[in-house]
């Protein structure tokens, strides 16, 4: 939902349209395939498109506290993502603990994802 809305907004903006479209599409892909492996693959692609957008306007982004806060949050999301992969493996092996762990890291991942999403939109508005 948020992805579709964001994509609509992105298309209206002529400023590095392709990269923003890719960034937005990736977010949708990650939303759709909300399993750890898909999430991590989408994150890697988002990092790539995000870095390309950063490169296109370093003067704005590299001095922005908002930008660095977002990157710290992305780092947390990535760290949590590796926990998610491990939890998924543990749950597959069976056992109650694996599933509780998976539920916890999935919840954290969901909240972090929404917060990063919010920061992304905020960054666009502030840039
Ligand atoms: C290393 C990883 C990332 C980098 C370097 C990065 C960088 C950026 C930059 C520079 C912008 C601003 C573009 C502009 O003002 O035109 C942006 C926008 C945005 N980012 Fe990221 N990003 C990263 C990861 C993510 C992730 C994981 C998410 C999703 C949760 C995300 C969601 C967004 C959204 C929704 C926007 C607004 C796009 C738009 O309005 O078109 N980003 N990102």
What does the pLDDT look like over 50-62, one tens digit per residue? 999 999 999 999 9
116 C-beta closer than 6 A to ligand 1: yes
Using CA atoms of 76, 82, 83, 89 in order, give the dihedral in degrees to the nearest 10.
160
Find which of 13-27, 39-53, 71-85 is predicted with most confidence, using mean pLDDT. 71-85
Ligand 1 centroid vs 83 CA: distance in angstroms?
23
Give this prediction's pTM.
Answer: 0.79
Q: What is the mean pLDDT of the chain?
A: 83
The closest residue, in CA terms, to atom 10 on ligand 1 is 54
Give the domain ranges of the chain.
Answer: 2-126
| Secondary structure (H, E, C), the chain | CHHHHHHHHHHHCCCCHHHHHHHHHHHHHHHHCCCHHHHHHHHHHHHHHHHHHHHHCHHHHCCCHHHHHHHHHHHHHHHHHHHHHHHHHHHHHCCHHHHHHHHHHHHHHHHHHHHHHHHHHHHHHHC
61 C-beta closer than 6 A to ligand 1: yes
**Averaged pLDDT for residues 38-58:** 90
Share of the chain above pLDDT 90, in %: 53
- Extract the tokens encoding 5: 């809305």
| Atom of ligand 1 minimally distant from the CA of 13 | 41
Distance in angstroms (rounded) separating the CA atoms of residues 12 and 108? 32
| Atom of ligand 1 minimally distant from the CA of 21 | 41
């Amino acid at each position: 939902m948020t992805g579709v809305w964001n994509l609509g907004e992105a298309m209206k903006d002529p400023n590095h349209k392709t990269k923003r479209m890719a960034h937005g599409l990736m977010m949708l892909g990650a939303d759709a395939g909300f399993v750890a492996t898909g999430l991590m693959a989408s994150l890697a692609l988002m990092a790539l498109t995000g870095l390309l957008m950063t490169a296109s306007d370093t003067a704005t982004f590299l001095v922005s506290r908002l930008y660095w806060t977002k990157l710290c949050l992305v780092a947390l999301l990535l760290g949590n993502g590796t926990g998610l992969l491990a939890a998924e493996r543990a749950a597959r092996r069976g056992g109650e603990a694996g599933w509780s762990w998976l539920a916890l890291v999935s919840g954290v991942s969901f909240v972090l994802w929404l917060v990063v999403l919010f920061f992304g939109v905020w960054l666009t508005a502030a840039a």
